[in-house]
Amino acid sequence: MVDFALTDEQKGVRDWVRTFVERELIPRENEVLRRERAGAAPGLTADEADELRALARKSDFWGVQTPVEYGGMGLDAVSAAIIESELGRTFLTFKFGGEADNILFHANPLQRERYLLPTIEGERKSCFAITEPGAGSDAKAIRTRAVRDGDTWVINGEKTFITGGNEADFALVFAVTDPEKGADGGVTCFIVDRDMGWTSEPIDTMGERRPASLVFDDVRVPHTNILGEEGNGFRLAMQWIGKGRYLLPARAVGACERLLEMALRYAKERSTFGAPIADRQAIQWMIADSQMETEALRLLVLQAAWQVDAGADSRHAQSIAKLYGGQKANEIVDRVMQIHGGMGYTRELPIERWYRDLRLLRIYEGTDEIQRRTIARDLLTGRVKVGSSLG
């Protein structure tokens, strides 16, 4: 028997996060939009985000997927997807505290004290640095080099579109250490403090996110700062990339819900030719399609998360969820803007903000084209059988 019901714990988590979003985040949206229109940096300020994380921690909401032994909540993947969906109901990018990159748990005892534990506590900030100007979706094409010199490694190269790179005080840097071995065995991950010499510059984008360009010019890193084992970097990178791709479309579920709610409210209020536009079939079909696609996306996301919890290989399901989520979220926000007409196109409403932000979902952490390649290759090679999603 298939049971689609959430557990009591999952319902409690969902309700708590929804209340938090409605009380603490959504009321800040107008002020953030006002600041952005005046030329300020987009989104919450660092102080505002820290204040909100501290507030959540008072309710013991800390380290959503961080193991309990490290002070986290240790929640399952389905719960994490539910949380992301609720956070997606606001265009303000916010994450609860107490998290660290999953591969940082491969740190040795000394590295745990210097990097992992302070990151979980919010005392330090990291970034994952693999993407390069010539190596985006093709992670095996990285060119950043690390050459050993005694007890240190000298790193030279550039990374680009690095999330959190402007704020991080250390980076997880992937560099080629043995060109003869290629990606599998020839790439190593280094923990590189900013004060070791790397620099960053923000990249201006059409949305809220401001990724960074990182430059490494003869940056010296101690041999003891290798994360995991020398030559094992690419496997660590794939572990990071696959840690939770389902969380990206999960956030889109919340955005689609909120946008559809806005469309419903406006369609009932706006009248043309003596009747609400909600009475027009053209509007009704846009609403119906948006509801259908949102619910389909929700199930795709939860199925992928369920596979993660079951210990199954969830990569195929996550690629489907991300591909579908990116496409449908963009279609839904476009419909909602159309329903609002000229008002939707203005900056007085957050629709245009979502319009710009949601476009990124089809690009980062694996483009639509990469997801299609993955899905097709899985089927053509027989790694995944048609109709095998439930085992």
Please say whether the dihedral angle defined by the alpha carbons of residues 102, 211, 247 and 119, taken in this order, is positive or negative. Answer: positive
Ramachandran sector of residue 157 (left: φ over 0; alpha: ψ -120 to 50; beta: rest) = left
Q: Which helix (H) or strand (E) holds 200?
A: strand 199-202
Nearest to residue 88, comparing CAs of 211, 242, 214, 259?
259
Nearest to residue 121, comparing CAs of 103, 99, 106?
99
Tell me how many degrees the CA angle 307-312-316 measures, rounded to the nearest 5.
Answer: 75
Burial class (CB in 10 A: 0-12, 13-18, 19+), 309: middle
Q: Are 305 and 77 in contact (CB under 8 A)?
A: yes
Q: Are 55 and 70 in contact (CB under 8 A)?
A: no
Q: Are 227 and 172 in contact (CB under 8 A)?
A: yes
Torsion of CA 252, 255, 256, 260, to 10 degrees: 180
Which two structure tokens, joined as six digits, stand for 109?
Answer: 């005892």
Tell me how many degrees the CA angle 204-170-194 measures, rounded to the nearest 5.
Answer: 80
Residues whose CB falls within 8 Å of the CB of residue 321, separated by 6 or more in sequence, listed in order: 245, 246, 249, 297, 300, 301, 303, 304
Nearest to residue 319, comparing CAs of 390, 212, 242?
242
List, by residue number, the catalytic residues: 365
**CA–centroid distance for 125 within its chain:** 16
Which phi and psi angles does 94 have, rounded to 5°? -145, 140
